[in-house]
Structure 1
């Protein structure tokens, strides 16, 4: 399995937080003082129970009531009345790719990071995740050679050509079977910082239709399980 970055490796740990009983004005002042557009809402045990944003506060300030369910926000005096709940969170041990998917799926800009008990551990933003794609090309190339080619695929890196330019990976050379080419490409795409993988690999044996052999099935099964991790 190639090395992946857990969310805790990129998250911020110094996070502005509010409590459900925090008054509206105090929450607005805190966001302004920290220069942030939103903050996790935590209870007395540190468990994340919601998120409050500038948008939530503006709905209260403007007194907008477009639908019945917004009435509480428009008249609320405390964060418990204004916050968005339940909060979308991500586990600190999860891979950064999961955090990226959550941000995109829910169209949000920040995610509270929690531990196994649901307590706040930090905060991750789109900018934090973007840093992953700023990895030097030399670092990406080294990981593909050492982790993907040598450790996972058990192929001598000297037998293949690997180049990385602006995150775009090019793989050249020959492998024993076509199925191994597919696996190698998939693992290479999973390396943090990779933008695209260009395939110039060839295979000595086209085993795409040889799924009936026990050996072929075993090989695909093992690598398939690794891909799901």
Structure 2
């Protein structure tokens, strides 16, 4: 089985709309409305992300400078430095960054800060829309990667509405807390129940 939805790169949108730092107030507004997004990465001339301009930034500019708002550029209105995330970052890291900054979208950049995608709250919520079959398969994969094959095969995995139940046998009762942590770390798992007995 292939791991799914563990990293930002597996969830992000690759086709990204962005603006340059010299884009005018009107150009930013038109782009936001045309693409039905709430924020846009702002790029330097070489394509690196230098900030983010949002609907809120436009409203703030319009409120503070009603007579001059149209003369402002993306570079003058943007929030900087941009809060970004890397494609190989865990999805939980992106979720925490969004929560801390009250953000709806994050630019995804490579090691040199070039834009490679964007990830939204909606993208991150996809991990909770996994089928139970997929979720159980992911848990089995994690168990196989952690335990010896014989130990993993002695454990039955069931998932229902995101709640995972492990039944069967475990050779070491002291490993139960670690197993529970392992399963809870799988994206989309809502709850875990362990019904594992020690073989006589």
TM-score (norm 1): 0.78
1:170 and 1:199 in contact (8 A); partners too: yes
2:145 matched to which residue of 1?
A: 151
- Determine if the alignment matches structure 1 residue 97 to structure 2 residue 92: yes
Cα RMSD, aligned residues only: 2.4
**Where does structure 2 lack aligned partners over 5 or more consecutive residues?**
none
| CA positional deviation for 1:3 | 3.8
1:224 matched to which residue of 2?
A: none
CA distance in 1, matches of 2:70, 2:28: 15
1:112 matched to which residue of 2?
A: 107
After TM superposition, list the pairs within 5 Å mapping 1:121-200 onto structure 2.
121-145=116-140, 147-156=141-150, 157-200=152-195
1:137 and 1:164 in contact (8 A); partners too: yes
Q: Deviations over 1:144-180 (max 9, x none)?
A: 22x2222311153442232100111011233222331
Alpha-carbon distance change, 11 to 106 in structure 1, aligned in 2, over 3 angstroms: same
Match of 2:193, SS state, is strand
- Determine if the alignment matches structure 1 residue 53 to structure 2 residue 50: no
**Where does structure 1 lack aligned partners over 5 or more consecutive residues?**
66-72, 205-229
- Determine if the alignment matches structure 1 residue 37 to structure 2 residue 32: no
1:80 matched to which residue of 2?
A: 75
Match of 2:170, SS state, is strand
| CA positional deviation for 1:76 | 6.2
CA distance in 2, matches of 1:21, 1:144: 48
CA distance in 1, matches of 2:14, 2:137: 29
Which structure: larger Rg? 1
| CA positional deviation for 1:199 | 2.5
Match of 1:87, SS state, is coil
2:12 and 2:117 in contact (8 A); partners too: yes
| CA positional deviation for 1:130 | 0.8
Count matched residues: 196
1:209 matched to which residue of 2?
A: none
TM-score (norm 2): 0.88
Alpha-carbon distance change, 120 to 138 in structure 1, aligned in 2, over 3 angstroms: same
